[in-house]
Amino acid sequence: MMTGCAACGAENYPGALFCEACGAAVHPAAEAYLAARRPDRPAALVGAISRRAPAAESAPSPPPPVAPPPAVATATPPRALVVRLPHHDAEMTLRGALIRVGRADPEAGFAPELDLTAYGGQDRGVSRRHATIQWVEGNYVITDQNSSNGTWLNGVRLVTGYAYQLPPAANVRFGGLLVQLAIAD
């Protein structure tokens, strides 16, 4: 049974945390997550979220993208990352210090750990080397790798090159392909 969005009325797949159409929270867990991230609390980012505002002549330009943090050997091994593709009824579990997201390129010998080729990745705008998910200092962080069609974390477009901490559960859109990520306990 589809879940209706109270903000825009769009229908969302069962288990969706945020509305695919407008980004509003459609699940109590998402509302609790958002409440915990209000401006009175520090942002849970390694980089920074850039919400684009209308350009103004006096507005400072955003900082240039920075390189993702180097993979750091930590005492804690990477936790399992549960990956759901709700439109394809697919689920998998990944674990690793570096998870590359994109589409396979057999000619170049590139095979990402999260290969979205079989899930309509090309048609949905997933780049071959779209993003990376890294285990850094006990947390997973996600970084857009200058993809053609962008990466969104819970409705917010990521700035290329910045690393953003993944919350325990998130909707991530690689180009136009929705993927739900959950960090296993």
Stated pTM of the model: 0.63
pLDDT > 80? residue 43:
no
pLDDT in tens, 93-134: 999 999 999 999 999 999 999 999 999 999 999 999 999 999
Cα–Cα separations (whole angstroms), residue 23 to 17, 84, 95? 9, 18, 27
User: Which H, E and C letters describe 52-69, residue by residue?
Assistant: CCCCCCCCCCCCCCCCCC
Q: Rg (Cα) of the chain, in Å, rounded?
A: 17
Query: What is the DSSP annotation of the chain?
Result: --EE-TTT--EE-TT-SB-TTT--B-SHHHHHHHHHTSTTS---BSS---------TTSPPPPPP-PPPPP---SSPPPPEEEEETTTTEEEEE--SEEEEE--BGGGTB--SEE-GGGTTTTTT--TEEEEEEEETTEEEEEE-S-SS-EEETTEEPPTT-EEEPPSEEEEEETTEEEEEEE--
Domain ranges for the chain: 1-42, 68-185
Nearest CA to 147 out of 180, 181, 95, 112 is that of 112
CA torsion through residues 54, 56, 58, 60, sign: positive
pLDDT above 90 covers a percentage of the chain that reads: 56
Average pLDDT over residues 48-67: 50
Q: Two tokens at 24?
A: 């509003």
Specify whether domain 68-185 bears CATH 2.30.110.10: no
pLDDT in tens, 130-179: 999 999 989 999 999 999 999 999 999 999 999 999 999 999 999 999 99
Give residue 63's pLDDT.
54
Q: What angle do CA 164, 115, 170 make, to 5 degrees?
A: 35
**Residue 144 one-letter amino acid:** D
Please state, in angstroms and rounded to a whole number, the distance separating the CA atoms of residues 177 and 125: 7
pLDDT above 70 covers a percentage of the chain that reads: 72
- CA 113 to chain centroid, in Å, comes to 15
